[in-house]
Structure 1
Amino acid sequence: MKHPVDVHVGKRIRHRRWMLGMTQQQLAEKVGIKFQQIQKYETGMNRVSASRLWDIADALDVQVAFFFEGMSEDNDAQTDTVIKGSANDLLTDKEALELVRSYYAIPENQRRRLFELARVLSDVA
């Protein structure tokens, strides 16, 4: 049975890798493992050791704590510790991730204007 913490960490690895436009193969090469192992980490099938998580964090240019952000305070192994209905649900939505990646590819001044437009449109809806 998959542990909810392993699933959450795996989702965070996939999210960050995807945001950087990195393939599983590229991440695996940076970490020095096979891409199949990255697949297993991302699905929560395999638990990521502390040293491996350190290497993955370095390869993805984040702090180790990044992988645990969004976990609930009461970490019960029998419950889903990912907060439902929050931004964490977006980590599994490929369209949302693609939108965010595209958004950050826009020059900053245009991005601010687009953000303001989106805010106005969401207030109207």
Structure 2
Amino acid sequence: MKHPVDVHVGKRIRHRRWMVGMTQQQLAEKVGIKFQQIQKYETGMNRVSASRLWDISEALSVPVSFFFAGIEGATEEASGAAVPGDILADKEALELVRSYYAIPENQRRRLFELARVLSDAA
């Protein structure tokens, strides 16, 4: 059985990898392992050792703590205590965020204000 912490860390690895536009193969090469191992980490099938998580954090340019952000909600969800809206679990939402940050900052601010107005009108 998968441990909720392993699943959470794996999701955070996948989300960060996807946000920086890196494939599993590219991450695996940077870390020095096979891409199949990255797949297993991302699904929570295999636990990530501390040293490997360090290597992954370096390859993805985030602190190790990034992979544990929101862990309280993940463990509560696994026990049935809460159902967090894990927006980053939705591939469309991830693509939207990635596209949003590709827009120049001044246009991005205007788009944000438009989205806020539209959401208030709905």
Runs of 5+ unmatched residues, structure 1 = none
Q: Does 1:85 align with 2:78?
A: no
Number of equivalent positions: 121
Distance 2:94 2:55 in 1: 23
TM-score (norm 2): 0.93
Identity of aligned residues (%): 81
For residues 8-53 of structure 1, the C-alpha deviation after alignment (integer angstroms, 9 at most, x for no partner) is 0000000000000100000000000000000000000000000000
TM-score w.r.t. structure 1 length? 0.90
1:53 counterpart residue number: 53
Structure 1 stretches of 4+ with a deviation exceeding 3 A read: none
The alpha-carbon deviation at position 79 of structure 1 amounts to: 2.0
- Whole-angstrom CA distance in 2 between matches of 1:91 and 1:33: 26
Matched ranges for 1:1-125 at <5 A: 1-72=1-72, 79=79, 84-86=83-85, 89-125=86-122
CA drift at 1:109: 0.2
What secondary structure does 2:46 align onto?
coil
